[in-house]
Structure 1
Amino acid sequence: MLKKLLIVILWVVLAVAGGLGWSYQQVKASLNQTVTQQENVLLTVKTGTSFRGLLAQLDQEKIIPVSIWSRWIPRLEPQLTRLKSGTYQITPTMALHDILTLVVSGREHQFAITLVEGDRFVDWRAQLKEAPYVVHATQAMTEAEIAAEIGADVEKLEGYLLPETYHYTAGTTDLELLRRAYRQMTRLLAEAWEGRDEAIPLKNPYEALIMASIIEKETAVDHERTVVSSVFMNRLKKGMRLQTDPTVIYGMGERYDGNIRKRDLRTPTPYNTYTIFGLPPTPIAMPSQASVLAAVNPQTSNYYYFVADGKGGHKFSTTLREHNRAVRDYLRTLKQNK
């Protein structure tokens, strides 16, 4: 009888061991279950989501089929239950184990927004409004209120924010992004002013910012920026008006319809550099780092004029006679290309 009992016990132990081994393999298999989506998808894990809640979410959102064995994962790998809320990117190559590891790590998906040089603050506000997963905290705020919130002691933010590609996670506010852009421009401007050419006819960093914004609107050709800067510096030193069209356009505001007419050049506004001497009162756009650096370290030249050359760049001239010839050449090129 004792021998039979021992045999029975042995069989029970083997059966239990076999069952446990088989169960272990089923749980492991569930962890190796792969994503069914063919493209990248975003998974948002809310604060307080439980392990089973996440499994249900993965199944409901058709990201990955979850088997009943997945519920036993905490027994096998308890570290995979320490979930962190956030928005994560799930790729088609991932398995359930990879997803859980990602959510436990807290490595949220990084979105990107490129705030473009040469744009105005109103353009940036519109772009931020459309940015995915950004919390729009500034919707009911004025420009002055936004400036105060990000630490800028100004009424207008034109020019004060550095154009750049900014990365952010879901739930980031537009205020946070603007604050980062303001801090980066503040840092850049301070360093640029510290390393400026002492001969430039600019009194302070703010004037450099205004000049940088004009340079930004005048050329998108990198190697031309310091040359354009030299033209404006030469004109300022000689007491000449800057006579730059982008300042006229900015001063026209909503009246600008895509064309500048002679009457627009003669109509005074605080920004019309055909009618005022010196710089306009504020920047007219968001200048890039390259334009800021060009504003404080212009190329040395004898140029006082420039006009588009019809090839994407500009023709620079020393005298008015040369400039008028360049203008005629440009108009002839335009006529030929029509």
Structure 2
Amino acid sequence: MKKFLIFLLILVLVLGGAALYGWNYYNDVGERPLTTDEEIIEITVEPNDNFSRLITRLGEEGLVRNVLLTRIYFRMNPMETALKPGTFEVNAKGTLHEIITELNEGEDIYEVTVVIPEGLSIDQMGEVFEEKGLFTKEEFIEATRSYIVPSWLENIEERRHVLEGFLAPATYKLKIGQTPGYVVDVMYKAFVNRMYGVIEELGENLPTSEWNEIVTIASMIEREAANTAEMPRVSSVIYNRLTKGQKLQIDATVVYALGLTSKDKVTLDDLKVESPFNTYHVSSLPIGPISNPGAAAIRAALKPENTEYFYYVLDPSIGEHFFTDDYNVFLQKKNEFAGE
């Protein structure tokens, strides 16, 4: 009997020790689920991944100590998972909670946020992408040239960049390694969606055959207006001049015709440049857009303010334009603002 009791005691101690070891191992796996010699590892979440699929894949890659116990631990200690596709750096020694938090809230290490402001030319856009390290300016420009252009675009041989005006300014989240061709496609489709959105918002019926004219006007408004509020007024000057048969004589078109992005002062010699973009040279609209306008400029091109203005000049003291229908008043204000 005594021997049996000793055996029973030893059995209880062994089973208790095994249970304690198992419990500690279970908690340890839950707290430190990954197995690797690295301090920091990259974990890629695929589209439509959930926690179970992710743990299975990491287990197949030999990165999870025990897939079954990790799943059980997660079920017994549920936490919110809002996994988003991407590649994330996580602490390989971190707890399951810390790892999931990083996957929920962390930044994709291969994602780059690119801000393309309204009014940039394709050349300037290329410079932004190059600065972000995605691809070179030349690669971006070449991608715009090789893009299959819409059938409604005419006189494409005479344009500097066939897609000028038709790439949407916006904030883009892009992946390192994505091709410039892919990015151009995304930007063009964003433009199309924006164009349809503005047309629908204003209740307009604008066939694509008229898009080039509207976007060309919008591109000049974008470069000329000092702020969004005065865009419809700048638009009215353009339409008033077109209606009267006057040359638009917009300095921004001269700058574009010269192949520049900006110029402190347009000279009389600059005005003489023979280019289908120079509105001191041509008697109507330039052959195509001179920048890539935003929604506000497109809206202003479709809905100009109803005015009698034919002239405007920037008042540098307030950073806004003075508008008038009188040429002599225009000259007077121009001299005044220039300090003459």
TM-score (norm 2): 0.74
Alignment pair present for 1:72 and 2:71:
no
Of 209, 219, 225, which aligns to 2:215?
Answer: 209
* Match of residue 78 from structure 2: none
**Number of aligned residues:** 301
Q: C-alpha displacement at 1:323, in angstroms?
A: 0.7
Provide the C-alpha distance between the structure 1 equivalents of 2:248 and 2:32, rounded to a whole number of angstroms. 71
Is the 2:124–2:261 Cα contact (8 Å) retained in structure 1?
Answer: no
Letter in 2 for 1:187: N
Provide the C-alpha distance between the structure 2 equivalents of 1:171 and 1:268, rounded to a whole number of angstroms. 40
Letter in 2 for 1:205: W
* Match of residue 12 from structure 1: 14
Over 3 Å counting, the alpha-carbon distance change for 1:128 and 1:42 in structure 2 is farther
Over 3 Å counting, the alpha-carbon distance change for 1:174 and 1:268 in structure 2 is closer
Q: C-alpha displacement at 1:105, in angstroms?
A: 7.3
Q: C-alpha displacement at 1:46, in angstroms?
A: 9.7
Is the 2:168–2:187 Cα contact (8 Å) retained in structure 1?
Answer: yes
Alignment pair present for 1:163 and 2:169:
yes
RMSD over aligned Cα, in angstroms? 3.9
Is the 2:273–2:281 Cα contact (8 Å) retained in structure 1?
Answer: yes
Q: What SS class does the counterpart of residue 229 from structure 2 fall into? A: helix
Letter in 2 for 1:139: E
Of 303, 313, 317, which aligns to 1:307?
Answer: 313
Q: What SS class does the counterpart of residue 262 from structure 1 fall into? A: coil
* Match of residue 300 from structure 2: 294
Provide the C-alpha distance between the structure 1 equivalents of 2:17 and 2:107, rounded to a whole number of angstroms. 44
Of 4, 16, 25, which aligns to 2:27?
Answer: 25
* Match of residue 246 from structure 2: 240
Provide the C-alpha distance between the structure 2 equivalents of 1:314 and 1:54, rounded to a whole number of angstroms. 66
Q: What SS class does the counterpart of residue 88 from structure 2 fall into? A: strand
* Match of residue 260 from structure 1: 266
Over 3 Å counting, the alpha-carbon distance change for 1:90 and 1:152 in structure 2 is farther
Alignment pair present for 1:185 and 2:157:
no
Q: What SS class does the counterpart of residue 204 from structure 1 fall into? A: helix
Over 3 Å counting, the alpha-carbon distance change for 1:152 and 1:108 in structure 2 is farther
Is the 2:31–2:96 Cα contact (8 Å) retained in structure 1?
Answer: no
* Match of residue 316 from structure 1: 323
Over 3 Å counting, the alpha-carbon distance change for 1:107 and 1:146 in structure 2 is farther
* Match of residue 126 from structure 1: 127
* Match of residue 95 from structure 2: 96
Of 181, 186, 206, which aligns to 1:175?
Answer: 181
Letter in 2 for 1:321: N
Q: C-alpha displacement at 1:173, in angstroms?
A: 3.5
More displaced stretch, 43-52 vs 183-192: 43-52
* Match of residue 50 from structure 2: none
More displaced stretch, 276-285 vs 264-273: 264-273
Provide the C-alpha distance between the structure 2 equivalents of 1:5 and 1:256, rounded to a whole number of angstroms. 93
Provide the C-alpha distance between the structure 2 equivalents of 1:171 and 1:126, rounded to a whole number of angstroms. 17
Q: What SS class does the counterpart of residue 139 from structure 2 fall into? A: coil
Q: C-alpha displacement at 1:51, in angstroms?
A: 4.4
User: 1:92-124: CA deviations, max 9, x gaps?
Assistant: xx9431454368779873642111111110111
Alignment pair present for 1:142 and 2:142:
yes
Q: C-alpha displacement at 1:285, in angstroms?
A: 0.5
Q: C-alpha displacement at 1:157, in angstroms?
A: 1.1
* Match of residue 250 from structure 1: 256
Q: C-alpha displacement at 1:16, in angstroms?
A: 1.1
More displaced stretch, 14-23 vs 302-311: 14-23
* Match of residue 87 from structure 2: 87
Q: Identity of counterpart residues, as a percentage? A: 24
**Structure 2 unaligned runs (5+)?**
47-53, 75-82, 157-161
* Match of residue 5 from structure 2: 3
Provide the C-alpha distance between the structure 2 equivalents of 1:297 and 1:140, rounded to a whole number of angstroms. 33
Over 3 Å counting, the alpha-carbon distance change for 1:97 and 1:224 in structure 2 is same
Provide the C-alpha distance between the structure 2 equivalents of 1:140 and 1:217, rounded to a whole number of angstroms. 22
Letter in 1 for 2:124: D
Q: C-alpha displacement at 1:43, in angstroms?
A: 4.0
User: 1:60-100: CA deviations, max 9, x gaps?
Assistant: xxxxxxxxxxx5342421488xx998422659xx9431454
Provide the C-alpha distance between the structure 2 equivalents of 1:162 and 1:247, rounded to a whole number of angstroms. 20
* Match of residue 275 from structure 2: 269
Provide the C-alpha distance between the structure 2 equivalents of 1:114 and 1:42, rounded to a whole number of angstroms. 29
Over 3 Å counting, the alpha-carbon distance change for 1:141 and 1:269 in structure 2 is closer
Q: What SS class does the counterpart of residue 119 from structure 2 fall into? A: coil
Q: C-alpha displacement at 1:193, in angstroms?
A: 4.7
Letter in 1 for 2:24: W
